[in-house]
Amino acid sequence: MERTMMRKLFGFVGVVCALTIVGGGNAAEPQYPARPIRLIVPFAPGGPTDVIARVVAQRLSESLAQQVVVDNRAGAGGNIGMGIAANSSPDGYTILVVSSSFVVNPSLYSKIPYDPYKSFAPVTNMAASPNVFVAHPSVPAKSIPELIKLVQANPKKYNFATPGIGTTPDLSAVLLKLTAKLDVATIPYGGAGPAVAAVIGNQVPLGCMAMPPTIPHIQGGRLRALAVTSAKRSPALPEVPTMAEAGLTGQEADTLQAVLVPAGVPKAVVQRLHGEIIKILSRPEVKERIVGLGFDIIASSPSEFAAQIKTEVEKWAKVVKGAGIKVE
């Protein structure tokens, strides 16, 4: 009788322990995050990647009940920040927000500190924005055709400020230069913020950058918008023509704004982050803010973004090779 009771007791304790382990596993999942999260932006403050990262980080801090700290790590066309993220612990406490340099740099640089397919787990492409060609108000050109004539009549006088070597605005400027046979140079900065400031200050008379950081300056008369690189006009700047409308076809390009985490982050964490970010992007006030900045909401799934990475890496490799650009 006593032995029977003991066997039942041990059996009961075993069941309780097993349930505790399983329950503990499930209970552990909602504990993420248990401490602040670092969100790396591989560009200077003020650029489009930084702008959208801060909009999302603020809401993500609220929804995750942990502070999400934006960490700007600019330099080398985004490679410095992306390399730091690639080498971070895959525990979910490092998030990376990238622009199109993530998919351009593999073909642009002879060596980069990450593999676009193996170093990260895609979370989502949050949004995309077209690039915009701008000029300082003192430049005597109010359209792309006028600009082409002006530059051709004054070789080596005018240059383009861009957010960095190999960013899609930089490649858009190079593409215009090649297409229109312009004798100009591109001046790469460490992000759109410094590039915009350079044109506003007339340190560089022309610029090409993603639309968001330029909008308040265009609306305030500190910059003159000449054309956008989207297939159709942007609702944020409806009066600005597309490059095709300006007479130049095949110039379409946009700048993605996407989220990744280091490879090896648990799938449940990736799904949690994806779910929270998609909810944030669907909020009316966030959507209005982001669209007002010149972005189109994409909100792709991890698998959709993974497929886009492959497509974009191959697409920009052809452009970089065709332009003969290479950075050591």
Q: What is the pLDDT of residues 14-47, one digit of tens each?
A: 444 433 333 334 444 558 999 999 999 999 898 8
pLDDT value for 41: 98
Rounded to 5°, the CA angle 223-54-214 comes to 10
- pLDDT at residue 123 is higher than 60: yes
Is 135-228 in the same CATH topology as 30-129+255-323? yes
Helix, strand, coil: what percent of the chain each, to 5? Answer: 45, 20, 35
Q: What is the DSSP letter of 327?
A: B
Which tens digits make up the pLDDT trace of 256-266? 999 999 999 99
Joined together, the tokens standing for residue 140 give 């005597």
- pLDDT at residue 11 is higher than 80: no
Q: Which of 105, 78, 173 is nearest to 135 (CA)?
A: 173
**Gap between the Cα atoms of 275 and 300, Å rounded:** 11
pLDDT value for 30: 55
Which tens digits make up the pLDDT trace of 36-85? 999 999 998 988 889 899 999 999 999 999 999 999 999 888 999 999 99
User: What is 65-112 written as a DSSP string?
Assistant: TS-EEEEE---GGGHHHHHHHHTS-SSSSEEEEE-THHHHHHHHBS--
Provide the pLDDT confidence category of residue 289 given band limits of 50, 70 and 90. confident
For 135-228, CATH gives 3.40.190.10
Within 142-283, residue ranges assigned H as helices are: 144-153, 168-180, 192-200, 215-219, 267-282
- pLDDT at residue 150 is higher than 50: yes
Cβ–Cβ under 8 Å, residues 182 and 148: yes
pLDDT value for 13: 42
Its sign, for the CA torsion 185, 190, 191, 197, is negative
Contacts of 175 (CB under 8 A, 6+ apart): 251, 253, 319, 323
Find the distance separating the first CA and the last CA of the chain, reported in whole Å.
81
The whole-number average pLDDT for the span 214-226 is 96
- How many CB atoms sit inside 10 A of residue 321's CB? 12
The larger pLDDT score, comparing residue 14 to residue 97, is at 97
pTM: 0.75
What percentage of the chain has pLDDT greater than the value 90? 68
- Residue ranges covered by each domain of the chain: 30-129+255-323, 135-228
Joined together, the tokens standing for residue 207 give 């610029």
For 30-129+255-323, CATH gives 3.40.190.150
pLDDT value for 250: 84
Which tens digits make up the pLDDT trace of 156-213? 999 999 988 878 899 899 889 988 999 999 999 988 889 999 999 999 999 999 898 8
Contacts of 310 (CB under 8 A, 6+ apart): 117
The whole-number average pLDDT for the span 283-307 is 92
Q: Which of 158, 149, 316, 134 is nearest to 229 (CA)?
A: 134
What percentage of the chain has pLDDT greater than the value 70? 91
Buried b (16+ CB within 10 A) or exposed e, 98-134: bbbbbbbbbbbbeebbbebeebbbbbbbbbbbbbbbb
Q: What is the mean pLDDT of the chain?
A: 89
Provide the pLDDT confidence category of residue 109 given band limits of 50, 70 and 90. very high
